């Protein structure tokens, strides 16, 4: 059975560690944010490494969609595609989504915001990906007649084997122990933006142990936190867990 998995995440949600986890499977090929270059080209947003991303990655949306909905590379059975939900812009066609299996990765919004604004101080609600995640979630749920899998980053860190087992089951693939560890360093499949964002993952050999984090957001970020909460809580209520 061939499975194309679109994992829809917001930024700073252990999404790259999840990509490492699936990339450790011998039956899986991974893709790193295939919509990113198109997103940067269309929006004109000044993200770190913008020039390099536009030079090195495909910006033609039709070509990207044709590729990620086409044959799985290297003759593998599973294609794990790491997607940032905010890269799915409002005027983009959605029909191609029906050719993929979908999952959703979320993180406590205060922690996500605190991490995001370190690299992108101008972040707004749309940059968190939460409204877009809910839009995609609703579309997939309506088509399937059931909720697609949602995983919480902290749940993964607390119990990688347990949550990944549940996620794989929901996606119709077997859990493999190789998903729990990986060799450190960069990957050829990493986007060119890795130099700006992936230092911690490149030094890792597995999921970091969970630890409680106390986050104090500044007053000017509290409206963003309040705006994130209803979107996050909708997905949180449906997450895979006990």
- The pTM of this model reads 0.95
Residue 121 pLDDT > 90: no
Q: What is the mean pLDDT of residues 98-119?
A: 93
pLDDT above 70 as % of the chain: 99
Question: What whole-number distance in Å separates Cα of residue 106 and Cα of residue 109?
Answer: 8
The mean pLDDT of the chain is 94
| 117-131, 148-162, 190-204, range with greatest mean pLDDT | 148-162
Question: What whole-number distance in Å separates Cα of residue 241 and Cα of residue 152?
Answer: 9
pLDDT for the residue numbered 48: 82
Between 171 and 196, residue with greater pLDDT: 171
Residue 187 pLDDT > 80: yes
Question: What whole-number distance in Å separates Cα of residue 203 and Cα of residue 85?
Answer: 26
pLDDT for the residue numbered 91: 92
pLDDT for the residue numbered 213: 82
Band of pLDDT at residue 242, cut at 50, 70 and 90: low
Question: What whole-number distance in Å separates Cα of residue 179 and Cα of residue 167?
Answer: 12
Residue 236 pLDDT > 70: yes
Nearest to 3 by CA among 131, 138, 174, 139: 174
Would you kindly state where each structural domain of the chain is located, as residue ranges? Answer: 3-236
Question: What whole-number distance in Å separates Cα of residue 23 and Cα of residue 65?
Answer: 21
pLDDT for the residue numbered 195: 86
Specify the CATH architecture of the domain 3-236: 3-Layer(aba) Sandwich (3.40)
Residue 52 pLDDT > 70: yes
pLDDT in tens, 4-47: 999 999 988 899 999 999 999 999 999 999 999 999 999 998 88
């Amino acid at each position: 059975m061939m499975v194309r998995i679109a994992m829809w995440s917001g930024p700073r949600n252990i999404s790259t560690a999840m990509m490492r986890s699936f990339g450790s499977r011998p039956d899986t090929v991974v893709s790193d944010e295939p919509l990113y270059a198109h997103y940067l080209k269309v929006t004109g947003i000044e993200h770190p490494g913008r020039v390099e991303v536009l030079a090195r990655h495909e910006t033609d949306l039709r070509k990207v969609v044709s590729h990620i909905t086409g044959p799985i590379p290297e003759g593998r059975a599973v294609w794990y595609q790491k997607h940032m939900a905010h890269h799915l812009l409002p005027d983009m066609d959605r029909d191609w989504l029906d050719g993929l299996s979908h999952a959703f990765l979320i993180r406590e919004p205060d922690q996500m915001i605190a991490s995001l604004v370190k690299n992108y101080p101008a972040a707004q609600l749309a940059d968190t990906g939460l409204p877009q995640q809910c839009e995609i979630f609703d579309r997939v749920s309506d088509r399937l007649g059931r909720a697609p899998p949602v995983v919480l980053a902290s749940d993964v860190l607390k119990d990688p084997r347990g949550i990944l087992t549940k996620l794989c089951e929901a996606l119709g693939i077997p859990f493999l122990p190789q998903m729990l560890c990986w060799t450190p360093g960069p990957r050829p499949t990493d986007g060119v933006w890795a130099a700006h964002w992936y230092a911690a993952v490149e030094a890792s050999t597995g999921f970091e142990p969970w630890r409680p984090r106390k986050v104090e957001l500044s007053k000017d970020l509290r409206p963003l936190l309040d705006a994130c909460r209803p979107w996050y809580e909708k997905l949180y209520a449906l997450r895979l867990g006990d």
